[in-house]
Structure 1
Amino acid sequence: MWTEEAGATAEAQESGIRNKSSSFSQIPVVGVVTEDDEAQGVFKPMDLNRVIKLLEETDKDGLEEKQLKFVKKLVRCYQNGLPLRDLAQIFKILNLCAGKIKNQPHFIESAYDIIKLCGLPFLKKKVSDEITYAEDTANSIALLGDLMKIPSSELRIQICYQQASSSYKIQMAEVGGLAKTMVQSMTLLENQLVEKLWVLKVLQHLSTSEVNCTIMMKAQAASGICTHLNDPDPSGQLLFRSSEILWNLLEKSSKEEVIQQLSNLECLLALKEVFKNLFMRGFSHYDRQLRNDILVITTIIAQNPEAPMIECGFTKDLILFATFNEVKSQNLLVKGLKLSNSYEDFELKKLLFNVIVILCKDLPTVQLLIDGKVILALFTYVKKPEKQKIIDWSAAQYEELQLHAIATLSSVAPLLIEEYMSCQGNARVLAFLEWCESEDPFFSHGNSFHGTGGRGNKFAQMRYSLRLLRAMVYLEDETVNKDLCEKGTIQQMIGIFKNIISKPNEKEEAIVLEIQSDILLILSGLCENHIQRKEIFGTEGVDIVLHVMKTDPRKLQSGLGYNVLLFSTLDSIWCCILGCYPSEDYFLEKEGIFLLLDLLALNQKKFCNLILGIMVEFCDNPKTAAHVNAWQGKKDQTAASLLIKLWRKEEKELGVKRDKNRKIIDFENLPGLSAEDFVTLCIIHRYLDFKIQATHKQRELANKSWENFLARTSNAKTLKKAKRLQEKAIEASRHHKRPQNAIFHQTDIKGLNTTVPSGGVVTVESTPARLVGGPLADTDIALKKLPIRGGALQRVKAVKIVDTPKKSIPT
């Protein structure tokens, strides 16, 4: 029985089939017994209570022989299957037999025979029996797990042989918690391989259920199974079944908790040894597939920063295995090894690239990446494909590995700047981009994740190369950026952009837009704060910016990436045009301000702050005002009316309230504040009073003296009074106190409706918002004249961001 069931055939191993349901799944859930069947004796009645009472008796002559005789009679009676209605009593009899085994070994055979009956379908007389006797069935099946404690190899194997043979029994096993007792029984079978393999087979079947996987996970099944992966096993079944169970636990229970169980030194050492052995000595299809499965499980564990991957030496080995083909190594682990172009080895290579990306997120790994010459190994793929040298991989395989390698570089290279530069990284990438743009005949297969949209063209290669350059440029490392500029990167990027827009490609529009966005971001990173580089950007650069700004606004809603491209374009105006007067003038001459105002008129909130910031900066150029005043939108809208409309929209969104005279009200009546909150609010209030009054004072001094102003005003007396109140309010604000008579007075000065408090608040409706604040008072643009670099898309100098732009660009 063992050789037929537990020792799975070599043919099944070779095919790598994961038979999660097993051939037992074809067995019916329960057998339905008809009246004819009953007439034939299937439900032949037997007094089970009498058998139970007999087995409970002790100390009588000839009792054991009589008890064994009745149990054999029971087995013959139920030779066609156990009825659901009798299951509870039959399992009570089984439990009594099991209890006698220690002192009366003959009862092993009786228990064995009863357990064997469990392999037959359970019988029901009524359709409702499954529901009626569900609890009895679940408790009975759960009892089998407890019987694993009996130190009988034959009995344990028979128990395992019966389990999970039907969906109904698996369902009942869930209810009864059989999975837990089976996991716990593993500790009793340390040196008993045959029984252990049978238990693993049971757990493999049980782990096809999410409920059972959760039960097993809570019983620490993952760590318990993983630590024994290297136990001696000539059959190869232990590793196969164990990996299947680990897979199911990761897929069907809490992935985080399973990873936590496996993130210890003992488990990782076991996985490391298994992977190393399979990598070096696994030659069959089955071995290679199992090796890849172990690597995927390891990759999942490596995502946990607390996993001791470096401490157990696994990281170092994985880096060696990932690079030994490209960088020759004298390490004995890889001496004489060579990967084939089989599907399993090809998948292995991609998995190794992927695990490097995961491992590099742990900074202590950096030195191991340097020692392993990972950058050099990856750069062997960043070149024009040479047919005569592509021996190990097919053309399609090599292309996929090439794209995967470049994508891996985007994550690793920013961490290893010195290695990147010593490998002439910039020169290699720029030369590869030249080939991407060339007319060199090349048939791209585009049949992988990284090759999406690149079939028959070089867009995929260009896309990932630009991502790599973008990641390096946004490190803001002057050595890298200076080297790029000296190699003509600015001119090359502009040339690629112009070439792309000269050959529209609607089929691959999304990828083309991504390429254009990355080019503009690279140019922004290179030109920011460098006048000479902005001059190199020049009129050709301005032309590509204007080209994007002329895009049909309806495309912004297409979801293809026009929004991202527009953000990149506006960013390039900041970094590549503003501050360079010839470029600014050319932008104005080409009606760039008109295009900015057209975009502003679209009233899309995500663009407004950025455009307004650019407009403020352009206003430093004396030629800008004429363009702003000359602009006309739909229905002859002017720039002034557009800005006022935006202001009102902002007020509405902020919930600013006004009274019947249109004055802003309710600065103070805020709900839900404690006494301490009101004290803090009072401090804020007084500080704002002081700042407002000080601003008024500065403005008056900057224009004319107060006395000269009074001399030309007919209502001098009223203004003198206002001045005294103002000075009193300033003085009170300085000392953090409000006069006791802080009441509001309404004064009408030549039609100027002014509300002046005798205390600390002055709200003048006609005073410019930049002086008194308003709905935009808490924004960077309202507070001071700043480029967008100091506002919505401020670049944080102290933080290095890898692989992603340093600006928050919504998609």
Structure 2
Amino acid sequence: MLSSAPPASGFIHKPVLSERRLQSEAVRATDLSRVLQLLQDPLSASLKERQIFILKKVVKRCQRGFLLRDLADIFKIVNLCAERVSDHPEYARILCDLLQICGLPFLKEKSSDEMKYAAVVTDCVSQMGFLMRIPLPEVRRQICSSLITFYSRDKHKHSSDGVCPTRADYRALMLERSGVSETLVMSLALTEEQLSVKLCLLQTLQILSRTSEVNCKLMLRAQAAQKICFHMSEGDPSGELLFRSSEILWNLLENGSRQEVTSQLSNIDCIASLKDAFHHLLLKGFRHHERQLRNDLLLLLSLITEKPGAPLIESGFLKHLTPFLTFPELKSHNPLVRNLKLSFNQEDFEMKKLLLNIMVVLSRDLSALQLFREGRVMLALVLLVKPSSCAERSGRHRRRWTSSQQEELQLQALSTLSSLAPLMLDEYMTCQANTCLLLLLDCCLQHDSSSGRGHGFHGSGGRGGRKALLRYCVRALRSVTSVEHEPLRQDLCDQGAIGQLLGVLRWFLGRPQDEDAVALEIQTDCLFLLSVLCEGDVHRKELFGRDGVEVLIQYLSLDAALVFSGLGHNKLLLSTVDCLWSCVVGCLGAEDVFVERRGVDLLLQLLQRSPRRMLSPLVSALLELCENPQAVTHLLRWSGDRDASAPQLLLHIWRREEETTGVSRDPHGLITDVKRPIVSRHQDQSSSSSSSSHDVSAAVRDVSENLRANIYCIFCKLGFERLSGLSAEDHVTLSIIHRYLDFKVGEVVREVSSELLNEGVCAVVSDEAALRSVLQVTEATAESVRSLQQSILGRQQQEELQEEQLLYKEILFTQKQREIAAEAWRSYVARTSNYSVLKEFKRLQEERSTCEPHAPSDAEPPEPPNTLSDQ
């Protein structure tokens, strides 16, 4: 028949296959419903063999994976098998086989199936996590294995019958939405007695947390960090438990909330567990990965110690860690380090750096400082900082680090010393750390900084290793001298620190080609050190002496344009001025040398070219130098750009300061408010705030913070009467400066009256009259100053008018002379070109000569040019 005949051509083959596929799918759907009906029928409970047989057929038929539209029925079957596992162990194998297939990508028939069945997929993956309640190890291991396979990024090929696996990113998204990672964390408590299952579960969590922030957040919500850390040091001969637990914690730190992780780990049990694991790996771990894991745990502990309130003392962590902090610099009979040996390889080097870093973190705890004192941590740091040649001669211990490692450890030890030394000054002095740092400073100067290269993070600051050492050495000295500890400063001066610091500055001045941000930082710190050491001590200022003044002169010769370069010249300039103030001012010999070397001229040049924020220290330094008569003489003789004198420069700064601070003035600079002649806008704001907070008087505070007060004091040194070469505008400003102190007294009295009124205090009649009298005198002074200013401006206008009239007369005279010359020339031209005019001119000339024979002729023409006379 035609219906049974083979097809004549291949074009009708696909419809036949499609029809068969549809029939197969219909049979499959019918089979799943029949399987469910068979499993749910209470009358078929005795037919266990038949149920297992049918389930095996389902497993065999779905070896390629489950269709998305069949997932609901499949997981109903899975749950039914899970319910019967406890009574009928035969179902365990079927359940494991079904779960194994669940690890394969689910199959979709259409592209829209992924979105259509998303809720079903999420629910099914979530149910896989809930199956961890089944106590059978093989089932739990299969769940973990299936979840790992399901989450993997492996690519699966499309099948020939039209179905294809779901995308990897889709599977990962569904797994995140299911919350199965949180369920697995909560299942850790069920695997206490099943080490193999726990390892599989940890492996699953490790993979799920490797790149997913959502999974890490869900795991942290289930207290994953605390639960995993608490059991990570339990016995496991393979070491896999510790390794996977550490990896999970690091994944949570990288992809989750670092604050939440450290918060969960900041308890006694977790810190004790980490401590035990670290000690075990330190003393018994000799393989490469064990050393790396040891360093990871130490870094994790250092992150926990950064959190305030971590129970470091209660857990015993700090007490057990202290002997390792000083190893191998100090010999110890502590049983923890008696048999400890380092291989001095890269892992041991990283551990030593982590130990130095954890010292800085732990130094915030006062109890930790006491343990550091007992463990002689400061002595270990000093031995590590000591120059290599000195350490070899001391013979305390044998250095086995490589030169690059030793240099980087030395740099980090200097950085650690900068943090610890101010907190442990007694131990610092006992260990003679000042001597060690000065020796290191001397060694750095004896070697060219470009001879080596910096190593590691700390060595990256300088072009070479020596410059980096110099940088951190000076920084350590700065940290200890910043503390008010006179014996320490005296010890530095006794050992020649002032001369060495000046040597460092001269060394950099001789190498301008090496100037960079690091070099400027070192020079700034050296100037700060000199300022701290010499401040208030005349003998130390004498030690600073001529050599120090020569160095300061070179720094004050700095081009003011470099202040805006961004490298740090602004800090260097401010440090130079501060060093001038602390090391020169107050010592007559140093002041004379400074003035002799034209230092006052350099300060005035900087004052003329520097930005506003740098004016205050420069003017303050000038004021202090004005105590020296020679400085006053140089200041009066100075002439800057555009022939500006020092008084003119100071008056210009005063006007610019008033303009910036919002002092009320008219366009000509006259006083507009006689009651508040020098009050600025900022002073009004601070006055209103201080009146409510009972702070220091705004008028008094303005004197200490305002640039104008220093300018007034300088003019008091210069004298208001002997100033010459000032313009009218300068005289107007000078009249205000002359009465600055009277105005300031009026401000204070006005504030006193205002405060008494606000507080409701009734003053005595005589006191009230005195206050009123002072205010009236102040207003009268302001009125007289304003009248003086007006008279100055009036005189200026008169002088300008007289100058204008004189100039006008000169212009008229010049114009008249030009007209006379032009008329004489026209007459001459007429005589030479017209004979009748010449005869008439001759006749008039003869008549005048007969009438006035002895009188000179006023009408005699000028001598003609040679060319015309020749003609």
Please tell me the TM-score bracket, short chain as reference: 0.7 to 0.9
Structural mapping, 1:117-196, within 5 Å? 117-163=101-147, 164-166=151-153, 167-168=168-169, 169-196=171-198
Name 1:697's counterpart in structure 2.
none
More helix by share: 2
Q: 1:733 to 1:310 in 2, by over 3 A?
A: closer
What amino acid maps onto 1:295 in structure 2? L
What amino acid maps onto 1:337 in structure 2? L
Distance 1:466 1:260 in 2: 37
Name 1:429's counterpart in structure 2.
437
Q: CA deviation at 1:123?
A: 2.1
What amino acid maps onto 1:570 in structure 2? V
What amino acid maps onto 1:246 in structure 2? L
Q: 1:679 to 1:384 in 2, by over 3 A?
A: closer
Distance 1:764 1:212 in 2: 76
Name 2:299's counterpart in structure 1.
296
SS in structure 2 at match of 1:328: coil
Q: CA deviation at 1:765?
A: 7.7
Asked if 1:509 corresponds to 2:516, the answer is yes
Asked if 1:663 corresponds to 2:672, the answer is yes
Q: Deviations over 1:109-140 (max 9, x none)?
A: 33222211122122223334333433332222
Alignment equivalent of 2:424, drawn from 401, 409, 416: 416
Structural mapping, 1:123-272, within 5 Å? 123-163=107-147, 164-166=151-153, 167-168=168-169, 169-208=171-210, 209-272=212-275
Distance 1:600 1:590 in 2: 18
Q: Is the 8 A contact 1:81 1:118 kept in 2?
A: yes
Distance 1:643 1:454 in 2: 41
Name 2:570's counterpart in structure 1.
563
**TM-score, scaled to structure 2:** 0.70
Q: CA deviation at 1:637?
A: 4.5
Q: 1:36 to 1:393 in 2, by over 3 A?
A: farther
Name 1:529's counterpart in structure 2.
536
Distance 1:653 1:68 in 2: 94
Q: Is the 8 A contact 1:269 1:312 kept in 2?
A: yes
Distance 2:575 2:116 in 1: 67
Name 1:355's counterpart in structure 2.
358
Identical-residue share of aligned pairs (%): 42
Q: 1:68 to 1:578 in 2, by over 3 A?
A: same
Q: Is the 8 A contact 1:729 1:758 kept in 2?
A: no
- Structure with greater Cα Rg: 2
Name 1:46's counterpart in structure 2.
29
What amino acid maps onto 2:29 in structure 1? M
Q: 1:684 to 1:206 in 2, by over 3 A?
A: closer
Name 1:470's counterpart in structure 2.
478
SS in structure 1 at match of 2:384: coil
Distance 2:695 2:340 in 1: 73
What amino acid maps onto 1:451 in structure 2? G
Q: Is the 8 A contact 2:450 2:463 kept in 1?
A: no
Q: 1:446 to 1:51 in 2, by over 3 A?
A: same
SS in structure 1 at match of 2:290: helix
Q: Is the 8 A contact 1:292 1:348 kept in 2?
A: yes
Structural mapping, 1:27-106, within 5 Å? 45-47=28-30, 48-49=32-33, 51-60=35-44, 62=46, 64=48, 67-106=51-90
What amino acid maps onto 1:357 in structure 2? V
Structural mapping, 1:447-458, within 5 Å? 447-452=455-460, 454=462, 458=466
Asked if 1:402 corresponds to 2:410, the answer is yes
Q: CA deviation at 1:179?
A: 1.3
Q: CA deviation at 1:50?
A: 5.0
Q: Deviations over 1:556-606 (max 9, x none)?
A: 233322222222212212211222222223323333333333333345344
What amino acid maps onto 1:178 in structure 2? V
Distance 1:171 1:682 in 2: 59
What amino acid maps onto 1:502 in structure 2? G
Name 1:612's counterpart in structure 2.
619
Distance 2:694 2:779 in 1: 13
Q: Deviations over 1:30-56 (max 9, x none)?
A: xxxx98996897998424455445544
Name 1:321's counterpart in structure 2.
324
Q: 1:533 to 1:82 in 2, by over 3 A?
A: same
Name 2:757's counterpart in structure 1.
736
Q: CA deviation at 1:360?
A: 1.8
Q: 1:176 to 1:436 in 2, by over 3 A?
A: same
Distance 1:373 1:679 in 2: 50
Q: 1:443 to 1:220 in 2, by over 3 A?
A: same
Q: Deviations over 1:534-564 (max 9, x none)?
A: 1111221122122122222333233322222
Higher relative contact order (CA 8 A, sep 6+): 1
Q: 1:366 to 1:391 in 2, by over 3 A?
A: closer
Structural mapping, 1:729-808, within 5 Å? 736=757, 764=782
Q: CA deviation at 1:417?
A: 1.8
Query: 541-550 vs 46-55, which deviates more?
Result: 46-55
Distance 2:179 2:204 in 1: 13
Q: Is the 8 A contact 1:549 1:595 kept in 2?
A: yes
Distance 1:374 1:682 in 2: 47
Q: CA deviation at 1:252?
A: 1.6
Extract unaligned runs of 5+ from structure 1.
1-33, 693-724, 739-755, 769-811
Give the RMSD, CA atoms, in angstroms: 4.0
Asked if 1:341 corresponds to 2:344, the answer is yes
Q: Deviations over 1:734-782 (max 9, x none)?
A: 86289xxxxxxxxxxxxxxxxx9999999948869xxxxxxxxxxxxxx
What amino acid maps onto 2:578 in structure 1? D
Q: Deviations over 1:649-671 (max 9, x none)?
A: 55555566667887369999x9x
Q: CA deviation at 1:501?
A: 1.3
Q: Is the 8 A contact 1:732 1:759 kept in 2?
A: no
Distance 1:626 1:135 in 2: 92
Q: CA deviation at 1:142?
A: 1.8
Name 1:385's counterpart in structure 2.
388
Asked if 1:276 corresponds to 2:279, the answer is yes
Q: CA deviation at 1:301?
A: 0.7
Q: Is the 8 A contact 1:527 1:575 kept in 2?
A: yes
Extract unaligned runs of 5+ from structure 2.
1-16, 154-167, 704-745, 760-773, 787-871
Q: CA deviation at 1:679?
A: 13
Q: 1:322 to 1:683 in 2, by over 3 A?
A: closer
SS in structure 2 at match of 1:559: coil
Q: 1:686 to 1:178 in 2, by over 3 A?
A: closer
SS in structure 2 at match of 1:380: helix
Q: CA deviation at 1:459?
A: 1.5
Q: Is the 8 A contact 1:733 1:760 kept in 2?
A: no
Q: Is the 8 A contact 2:39 2:80 kept in 1?
A: yes
Q: Is the 8 A contact 1:729 1:759 kept in 2?
A: no
Q: CA deviation at 1:440?
A: 8.7
Name 1:747's counterpart in structure 2.
none
Distance 1:678 1:425 in 2: 48
SS in structure 1 at match of 2:458: coil
Q: Deviations over 1:210-267 (max 9, x none)?
A: 1211111121111111111111112211000000011111122111121111111111
Q: CA deviation at 1:355?
A: 1.2
Name 1:548's counterpart in structure 2.
555
Q: Deviations over 1:336-379 (max 9, x none)?
A: 32211211111111111111121122121122112211122122
Q: 1:733 to 1:253 in 2, by over 3 A?
A: closer
Q: Is the 8 A contact 2:555 2:573 kept in 1?
A: yes
Distance 1:51 1:350 in 2: 65
Q: Is the 8 A contact 2:232 2:245 kept in 1?
A: yes
Q: 1:633 to 1:155 in 2, by over 3 A?
A: farther
Q: 1:617 to 1:162 in 2, by over 3 A?
A: same
Q: Is the 8 A contact 1:656 1:664 kept in 2?
A: no
Distance 1:430 1:758 in 2: 63
Q: Is the 8 A contact 2:68 2:107 kept in 1?
A: yes
Q: 1:160 to 1:602 in 2, by over 3 A?
A: farther
